Amino acid sequence: MDNAQQKIASAANGRVEPELRQQRPVPKNLVLLQGLLERPFKAPASPVPPQEQDVVAPEIDPDSGAATAVVGKTRFLKTRHFVIGASFVLAVAVPTALSSLYMAFVAADQYHSSSSFSVRSIESTQASDLMGMFGQASSGSTISDSYVLLDFILSERMVQAVDEAFGLDKIFAPRGSDFFYGIAKDAPIEDKLDYWRNMISVNLDHTSGIMNLQVKAFSPEDSQRIANFVIAQSEKLVNELSLYGRTEVLKVAQEEVTTAENRLAGARGALRDYRDSSQEADPVEGAKLAAQLVGSLEQQLVQMRTDLSVALTQLSENTPRVRVLRSQITSIEAQINRERQRFGSGTAVGKQGRSASGTDVAGRIQKYETLQTDSEFAERAYTSSLASLEKARLDANAKQRYLAVFIRPSLSEMAQYPSRLLNSFLVLIGSLLLWGVVVMGYYNIRDRN
């Protein structure tokens, strides 16, 4: 204990006895304690005696293992800090400087053309003012149709149409050395689609159904021309969808009308064939005339029989007067029988009907009434199908869609893109975050080990 206290006291005065140092190595804990006790006395007020100058601290003693470890540790810290600083320059400073220079001197100016439109319906109520039109709900436009139009504008079909009309390789070719914002020559359709979606933006307002279109290009004229072309293609698509929906609505009604027409034509044809074969327009009217004729003949028969009775009271049977009356009565009776035969045979009818041939008046009337009933039913069905077709046509016209463009594509006078300061700042933030994550990961791994 006395030796330990003596060692501590000697360390407190900044001295180490040479004989104790030569006997055994100094413990590491003692070295650390000596270092802590030496720090306040690094700059003594009085000069150190010559004999004390030969005694040095363990930190700079080349024979001490602990001092060597401290020196190596210091050198390692300096190397690590140098590597971290160099990585900051390479990962943060250099990319930020290059991107800033690229944005300032290489990136080409871009101009945008804006337009606003919506898909609306004829059945919508006309607004009294501009704010009323914007304040309408989706009654004048269908949200589903707007989504279809949104997908169409951002689809490969639109890219192909624009490429055929203008040539994407030509109109979006790199300007000067600006390879980043230009499109590669002979790029596949997938790359063209990605580039198209970067150069165009479409926003849909779910409340009003208004779509805002913005097209970017390297010249204001090109952006305006492309925006007009996109609107024209959108109008074409809306008209095609409206026509297709109208056709589908009218298709069933038109088929019903065609069926009714064919049925009515068949019924009328059968009725006409019957009239040609029977040689009478209406057998019912013919039967009425035949009945009137039979009635007239019966009246004449009654009158002649009366005259015959009167003549027999005055004349004999062989007188010319009586013979003429009897001959006339016989002729009228035969005529009445023939006329009555036209109505029927007078026998009981079976399950097959009165007459198989249909030559009598009753058979002709039955056949005519059947044909007339079929014709009247077919005519009513045809009239009903025409009414249904007209109603379907009105409904289809009421549901017809159209593209209402209330803000035509604008012509820019000043370049709005690219956002040079914003892009440089984003590069700085991104590279700084990435560098910070890597450095923090390194220190986390080092501390765990």
Least confident of 118-127, 359-368, 418-427: 118-127
pLDDT of residue 159: 92
Kindly state the average pLDDT of the residues 11-39: 54
Query: Which sequence spans correspond to the domains of the chain?
Result: 1-47, 64-107+419-449, 109-250+400-418, 262-345+357-396
Q: pLDDT tens across 142-156, in order? A: 688 888 899 999 999
Q: pLDDT tens across 133-192, in order? A: 444 444 444 688 888 899 999 999 999 999 999 888 888 888 777 778 888 888 888 989
Separation between Cα atoms, residue 128 and residue 352, nearest integer Å: 74
Do residues 298 and 336 make contact, with C-beta atoms less than 8 angstroms apart?
yes
Report the half-sphere exposure of 58 (CA within 13 A, side-chain side): 27
109-250+400-418 topology per CATH: Bacterial polysaccharide co-polymerase-like (3.30.1890)
Q: Which residues contact 268 (CB under 8 A, 6 or more apart)?
A: 375, 378
Q: Largest Cα–Cα distance of the chain, in whole Å?
A: 205
Least confident of 248-262, 387-401, 426-440: 387-401
Tokens of 396: 């289809």
Share of the chain above pLDDT 90, in %: 13
Q: pLDDT tens across 406-435, in order? A: 889 988 888 777 778 888 889 899 989 999
Long-range contacts of 412-418 (CB under 8 A, 24+ apart): 412/111, 412/112, 412/113, 412/220, 412/223, 413/220, 414/111, 415/109, 415/110, 415/111, 416/110, 416/111, 416/112, 417/109, 417/110, 417/111, 417/112, 417/216, 418/103, 418/107, 418/110, 418/181
Helix (H, G, I), strand (E, B) or coil at 44: coil
pTM of the model: 0.56
In Å, what is the CA distance from 83 to each residue of 27, 80, 91, 96? 34, 5, 12, 19
Confidence class for position 285, pLDDT limits 50, 70, 90: low
Report the half-sphere exposure of 164 (CA within 13 A, side-chain side): 8
Choose between 118 and 19: higher pLDDT. Answer: 118
| Residue 30 confidence (pLDDT) above 80 | no
